[in-house]
Amino acid sequence: MSQNAPQNDRDELEGTEQPFVSHLIELRDRLIRSLIAVGVVFGALFLWPGPSGLYDLLAAPLVAHLPEGSRMIATSVISPFIVPLKITLMTAFLIALPVVLYQVWAFVAPGLYTHEKRLVLPLVVSSTILFLVGVAFCYFFVFGKVFAFIQSFAPKSITAAPDIEAYLSFVLTMFLAFGLAFEVPIVVVVLARLGMVSIDKLKAFRSYFIVLAFIIAAIVTPPDVISQLALAIPMCLLYEAGIWAAQLFIKHTGAPDAEEEQA
């Protein structure tokens, strides 16, 4: 009995400690692997479809709604070279993101308890998927509606010729806004799981969040009703999904009780 008790009470992380230098070496190796993954994808995209092809793909929702004969312009000498390269690098990072996240997970996982792994891994995967879904929703649905709405108000005496750098800045802002907006369920789950907010309080805050969502949409999106509704309505729906997901996470990712450990 006396020999079995210490084994039952032993910390599951006991014996996994590594010297600080070993952590630095492992961190360096995983950073290098992440950079290699991004570099390989960047090289592949550079060969096909190429930086110019990627920019044409990114600009397609706007070009489709420009008046016939109108084209985008570059007001800087180096913009036609720099802007497509930036897009290629960002696309390569998004494609290689699963490899990068795996390297991050492999680095921190040995220092986590089992119940913490059950919490962190689903959150990392789901947050990545939700961010990409938000970006895709913005590109395939919101851009077409917004650009059509804007062009419908353009006077006939004006020839639209957007600058490629200004368009890139606009696109990145919109991608970031929708990507972060789709992270609402993750924020709700984390707050509830850490015990900072109870499920009942989250439900009571529902009406206030609806108002908050429309205020955020009015600030971060262009001054048109379409993009504001396209951001605010998904945020409200995702808030409800976050409350539902939080209940599941609290149930299945809790730390084991002392009685369970002894058993």
Report yes or no: 132 and 178 within 8 Å, Cβ to Cβ: no
Report yes or no: 185 and 241 within 8 Å, Cβ to Cβ: yes
The residue type of 150 is I
How high is the pLDDT of residue 257? 52
How high is the pLDDT of residue 53? 93
Q: How far apart are CA 121 and CA 194, in angstroms?
A: 16
pLDDT one-digit tens code per residue, 40-91: 999 999 999 999 999 999 999 998 888 877 889 988 889 999 999 999 999 9
Residue that has been written with the tokens 């969040």 in this structure? 209
Span 149-166, mean pLDDT?
A: 83
How high is the pLDDT of residue 2? 45
pLDDT band at 14 (very low <50, low <70, confident <90, very high): low
Q: pLDDT at residue 7 above 50?
A: no
How high is the pLDDT of residue 242? 93
How high is the pLDDT of residue 263? 45
Q: How far apart are CA 216 and CA 221, in angstroms?
A: 8
Span 8-25, mean pLDDT?
A: 65
Q: How far apart are CA 63 and CA 120, in angstroms?
A: 41
How high is the pLDDT of residue 262? 43
What residue ranges do the domains of the chain occupy? 18-256
Q: What is the DSSP letter of 196?
A: S
Q: How far apart are CA 104 and CA 124, in angstroms?
A: 10
- Of 102-111, 191-200, 250-259, the one with minimum mean pLDDT is 250-259
Q: How far apart are CA 263 and CA 257, in angstroms?
A: 10
Report yes or no: 178 and 88 within 8 Å, Cβ to Cβ: no
- Of 11-20, 179-188, 231-240, 252-261, the one with minimum mean pLDDT is 252-261
How far out from the chain centre does Cα 161 lie?
Answer: 31
Average model confidence (pLDDT) across the chain = 85
How high is the pLDDT of residue 88? 95
How high is the pLDDT of residue 253? 63
How far out from the chain centre does Cα 221 lie?
Answer: 17
